[in-house]
Every structure is written in C-alpha cells, then in structure tokens.
C-alpha cells in the first residue's frame, strides 16, 4: 500500500512539474531572452535575502522549545533544524520530524518536549503564513483581481475542477482510504491534545509567531527581488509578491505527500500570478523561484555542516533504528 502511495505521489508531482516544464519549453526562445537580460545582481540579492530568512527561521525553533520550558541555544537550534530539514527530501514524511527529535535528544532535550515542539512549530508557522498571505493579498487588492478573472476562465477549467472533486469523492468512497484518513486525523488530534496538556508558555509562543510572521514577509521580499530580476517592468508591488508567495507556500504545505511542496507550490504560484503576468512568464517565475530556493537550501545546509560536519548520516542511521 505504501509503495502504491509513493508511486501515486511521485506521479502527481511529476505531472505538475511536467506541465510547468511544457509551458516553459513552449516559450524556450523567450526564456533564453529573459535569462540573458535578467539582472543577476538582483537575483543574487534575492538569494541573500532568502538565505538570511532560512538561517533566522531555523533559529526560531529555539524560541518554540523555550515555550515548552526547554533551553536551547539559537545556534544549536538552527544547526539541528537545518540538518534535519534536509532529510525531508527522503521518501516518507517521517524523516524530517523523526530526525529532529532524535538529534534534539542527543543534545540533552527531553524526547517528549522535542516531539511536542513539532506540532507547536507547525501550528505557529501555518498561522504566520496565513496572516502574511491575507495581509499581502489584501493590501495589493488581489482578491478583486482574482474575482475579475473568473468570467474569463475557459469552460474546460470548470469541468476540470468538477472532475477533480468527483475523483476525490470516488477515492474517499473506498473503506481503506476512509480508515486511513480517520486514523491520520485521529493522530493529529492526539498530538494537539498532548500539546494542550503541556501548556506552552503564551508569551514565548506569541514571540515565535511574531518572529515567524516577520520572516514570512522577509522571504516575500526575496520573491519580489526575484521577479524584479526577470521583469523589472512588470507592475508587481512588494505587497502582491509577499501575499502570493505566502499563499503558494500554504498550497504547497497542504499538498500532502509532495516533498517540500514540490510541484504543488509551483502550480499555485503560477496560478496566483496570472492577474499580474502572462501564463508563460508566471510559469517561468515559479520555476526560477524554486531553483533559487534550492540553491538557498544547499547553501544553508553547507553552513550547518560546517558547524557540525558528518551528522546527517548518523542521524539517518539512528532514525532507521528508531523506526525498525
């Protein structure tokens, strides 16, 4: 069953990425022109902003731990977060979470507190991105633009939406799927119940929320710089870029099974940019932004490995023992 799920998830991600790739390939001449005249200094600035975002974002996990009464240095917290986040690309969603709990325990943090920090961090992060998306899109007047686009959508897009809904209903009609979904929801409520029982400190939790929200805006600025690197003449405000980036992050997050939101986030970003850019340019922007973020992840992982080299292999082997 798990092999089938992995195969389906891989197929869906591949289909989305292939669709975006076909759009970009169809305008390959324009892509070459756009990249040739791109402002690479602006792109480098976008990478710098995103690198700062990622390093600072990693350190906020220390504040989340403090909300649960645990003391962990910001550098130590950032190192653990950066190293273990790299494992989320391994098939199977357990790696990013299991590895962080294992490594935190090795650093003297109680296993229970480390495990509870994950749903707390997740909830605060989702709230921060939701606030950022709402504020950014509202300030840029994007809801009205999206509403104006609806009458212009081709008839087949509504048919595709109805077909997708019917497919979801058909899948949910299988008893095995319903049982697995119910079990998954039950586990999440159990985690929330355990978190509520731990009574996180409100002040520290609010501090983490404020820091995460500010950093969401910072990454949105990086996305704005990336758009300016490609099309400085486009009428895209910083608020619009911040809101679109945050909404696309949420779309990628809720695309369960896609590592790092791969594919789903790009599709969401492309769709959200349509009131501001033609389809071809929006698709290129989505792919370009993903490439920049992968570069940032590699750079930040390099920083983490410099702080404590050769740790990922050890963490992974311990996770295998924990889950065996």
Residue among 267, 300, 249 nearest 49 (CA): 300
Neighbouring C-alpha atoms within 13 Å toward the C-beta of 268: 21
The pLDDT assigned to 320 comes to 40
CA 162/CA 274 separation, integer angstroms: 21
Low-confidence ranges of the chain (pLDDT < 70): 1-31, 86-98, 150-198, 255-262, 307-324
Tens of pLDDT, residues 277-290: 988 888 888 888 98
User: Domain segments of the chain: what residues?
Assistant: 40-323
b/e 191-223 (16+ beta carbons within 10 angstroms → b)? beeebeebebeeebbebbbebbbebbbbbbbbb
pLDDT tens for 195-248 read 555 678 899 999 999 999 999 999 999 999 999 998 888 889 999 999 999 999
Whole-number pLDDT of residue 324:
46
pLDDT recorded at residue 322: 46
- List CB contacts of 33: < 8 A, sequence separation 6 or more: none
Q: Say what the pTM is.
A: 0.76
Name the phi and psi angles at 208, rounded to 5: -65, -40
């Amino acid at each position: 069953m798990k092999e089938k799920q992995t195969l389906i998830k891989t197929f869906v991600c591949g289909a989305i990425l292939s669709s975006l790739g076909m759009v970009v390939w169809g305008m390959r001449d324009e892509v070459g022109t756009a990249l040739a005249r791109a402002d690479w200094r602006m792109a480098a600035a976008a990478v710098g902003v995103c690198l700062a975002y990622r390093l600072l974002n990693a350190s906020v996990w220390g504040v989340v731990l403090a909300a649960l009464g645990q003391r962990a240095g910001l550098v130590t917290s950032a190192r653990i977060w950066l190293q273990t986040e790299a494992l989320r690309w391994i098939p199977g969603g357990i790696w990013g979470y299991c590895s962080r709990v294992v490594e935190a325990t090795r650093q003297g943090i109680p296993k229970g507190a480390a495990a509870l920090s994950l749903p707390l961090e997740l909830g605060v992060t989702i709230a921060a991105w939701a606030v950022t998306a709402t504020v950014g899109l509202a300030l840029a007047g994007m809801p009205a633009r999206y509403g104006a686009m609806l009458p212009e959508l081709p008839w087949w897009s509504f048919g595709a939406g109805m077909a997708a809904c019917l497919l979801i209903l058909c899948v949910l009609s299988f008893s095995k799927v319903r049982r697995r979904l119910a079990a998954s929801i039950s586990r999440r409520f159990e985690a929330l119940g355990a978190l509520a029982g731990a009574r996180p400190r409100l002040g520290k939790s609010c501090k983490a929320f404020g820091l995460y929200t500010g950093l969401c805006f910072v990454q949105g600025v990086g996305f704005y710089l990336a758009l300016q690197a490609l099309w400085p003449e486009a009428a895209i405000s910083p608020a619009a870029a911040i809101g679109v980036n945050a909404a696309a992050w949420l779309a990628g997050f809720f695309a369960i099974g896609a590592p790092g939101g791969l594919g789903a986030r790009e599709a969401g970003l492309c769709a959200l940019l349509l009131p501001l850019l033609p389809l071809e340019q929006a698709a290129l922007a989505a792919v370009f932004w993903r490439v920049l973020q992968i570069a940032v992840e590699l750079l930040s992982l390099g920083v983490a490995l410099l702080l404590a080299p050769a740790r990922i292999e050890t963490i992974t082997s311990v996770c295998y023992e924990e889950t065996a």
